């Protein structure tokens, strides 16, 4: 299977190396923060310490996965000052909203974090302890989506690149999952395949509709969505599950087209120094030439990692992506 995943581009590798030099890579579990913190909902503001969120007893044991498990890829000490490697336009208000959403869910007593691997699987591969699905509940019985953040296959930038998307989808009534996966192109796709399997196997308990589901991703996460959409769960260690009704991709310079791509929406900025808008535009053109629905939005002057695009020329792209998905649900 190695031929499916060529070595990451030198830009990603050099940036990843740069992010790990200097003070050295630290684990989020070794920050020295006091244990046993329990925040009130009103305590969660832009001034809230990131460590207080990680170690909040209501968020145990998954609080450490809200932010990158490898803290070498983030900076800032508060929710308002959070910065993630390779990402622009991090919205502090959205970061606060997401943490408050998690706190609200814990206060209501509902489960919204799910392990995708058993204890035995995690014992055999300890990296699987840093995986799981955050569930953003929409309407019961509504369609479902899985969002995968980017991070150059070096870390998972969920706070900016998948949590906001999943939350927005849930506000529109959809049931959305945000995947925390093992960095690395192969392992990330294995984890996404497992997440798809989990979603289908527990659909009745979760009260969700998995028919015509969609896969969403930014940067590395967009590659994951595209690869699973084209190659299927069976190519990554799971049994055969239905392919997605739509793949939604943000800012990734993926060029390969196999000829069996699902309907695909893409968006990217012209000032993206990591993902070429021309490469993305060409891929969409080739998918369309195969008779498959495909669409791209190109935003003048935007760099890599604009997320929801709030306050930029890209604002509203997620509404267009949802309409694209809905259009392809209706076609099936």
Q: What is the three-state SS of the chain?
A: CHHHCCCCCHHHHHHHHHHHCCCCCCEHHHCCCCCCECCCHHHCCCCCEHHHHHCEHHHCCCHHHCCCCEHHHEECCEHHHCEECCCCCCCHHHHHHHHHHHHHHHHHCCCCEECCCCHHHHHHCHHHHHCEEEEECCCCCCEEEEEECCCCCCCCCHHHHCHHHHHHHHHCCCEEEEEECCCCHHHHHHHHHHHHHHHHHCHHHHCCEEEEEEEEEECHHHHHHHHHHHHCHHHHCCCCCCCCCEEEEECCCCCCCCCCCCCEEEEEECCCCCCCHHHHHHHHHHHHHCCCCEEEEEECCCCCCCCCCCCCCCCCHHHHHHHHHHHHHHHC
pTM: 0.89
Tell whether 2 is covered by a domain.
no
Domain containing 206 — which CATH number? Answer: 3.40.50.1820
Residue 121: other Cβ atoms inside 10 A: 14
Tell whether 282 is covered by a domain.
yes
Task: Measure the CA angle with vertex 190, ends 185 and 306; round to 5°.
Answer: 50
- Give the structural domain span for 252: 111-331
Query: In whole angstroms, what is the distance from residue 198 CA to residue 211 CA?
Result: 14
Closest CA to 134 of 182, 167, 174, 107: 167
Go through the chain and tell me how many residues it has.
332
Tell whether 296 is covered by a domain.
yes
Tell whether 129 is covered by a domain.
yes
**Please, what are the averages of pLDDT over each run of 10 residues along the chain (332 residues)?**
35 34 31 68 95 94 94 95 91 97 93 96 97 98 98 97 98 98 98 98 98 98 98 98 98 96 98 97 98 98 96 97 94 59
Q: What is the pLDDT of residues 154-171, one digit of tens each?
A: 999 999 999 999 999 999
To the nearest 10 degrees (0 to 180), the angle between helices 185-201 and 220-231 is 60
Tell whether 104 is covered by a domain.
no
296 Cβ contact partners less than 8 Å away, ≥ 6 residues apart: 265, 266, 267, 268, 280, 281, 284
Give the tokens for residue 99: 């943490």
Alpha-carbon 284 to chain mean position: 21
Ramachandran region of residue 234, left (φ > 0), alpha (ψ -120 to 50) or beta? Answer: alpha
Tell whether 301 is covered by a domain.
yes
Q: Which pLDDT score is estimated for 88?
A: 78
Q: CA torsion sign, 159 to 160 to 162 to 165?
A: positive
CA distances from 308 to 148, 171, 239 (A): 14, 14, 33
Tell whether 185 is covered by a domain.
yes
Tell whether 21 is covered by a domain.
no
Closest CA to 264 of 237, 291, 300, 242: 291
Domain count, the chain: 1
Q: Which pLDDT score is estimated for 20?
A: 32
């Amino acid at each position: 299977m190695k031929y499916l995943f060529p070595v990451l581009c030198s830009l990603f590798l050099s940036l990843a190396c740069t992010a790990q030099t200097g003070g050295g890579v630290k684990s989020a579990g070794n920050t020295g923060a006091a244990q046993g913190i329990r925040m009130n909902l009103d305590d969660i503001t832009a001034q809230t310490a990131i460590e207080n969120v990680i170690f909040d007893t209501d968020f145990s044991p998954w609080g450490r996965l809200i932010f990158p498990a490898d803290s070498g890829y983030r900076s800032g000490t508060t929710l308002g000052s959070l910065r993630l490697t390779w990402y622009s336009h991090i919205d502090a208000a959205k970061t606060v909203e997401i943490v408050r959403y998690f706190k609200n869910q814990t206060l209501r007593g509902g489960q919204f974090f799910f392990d995708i691997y058993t204890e035995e699987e995690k014992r055999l591969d300890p990296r699987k302890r840093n995986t799981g699905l955050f569930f953003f509940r929409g309407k019961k019985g509504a369609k479902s989506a899985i969002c995968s953040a980017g991070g150059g296959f070096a870390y998972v930038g969920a706070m900016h690149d998948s949590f906001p998307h999943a939350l927005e989808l849930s506000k529109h009534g959809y049931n959305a999952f945000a995947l925390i996966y093992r960095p690395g192109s192969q392992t990330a796709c294995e984890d996404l395949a497992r997440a798809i399997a989990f979603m289908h196997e527990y659909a009745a308990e979760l009260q969700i509709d998995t028919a015509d589901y969609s896969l969403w991703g930014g940067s590395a996460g967009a590659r994951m969505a595209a690869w699973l959409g084209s190659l299927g769960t069976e190519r990554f260690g799971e049994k055969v599950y239905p392919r997605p009704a739509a793949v939604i991709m943000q800012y990734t310079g993926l060029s390969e087209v196999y000829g069996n791509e699902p309907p695909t929406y893409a968006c990217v900025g012209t000032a993206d120094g990591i993902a070429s808008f021309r490469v993305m535009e060409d891929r969409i053109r080739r998918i369309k030439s195969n008779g498959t629905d495909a669409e791209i939005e190109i935003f003048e002057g935007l760099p890599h990692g604009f997320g929801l695009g709030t306050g930029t020329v890209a604002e509203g792209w997620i509404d267009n992506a949802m309409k694209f998905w809905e259009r392809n649900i209706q076609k099936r």
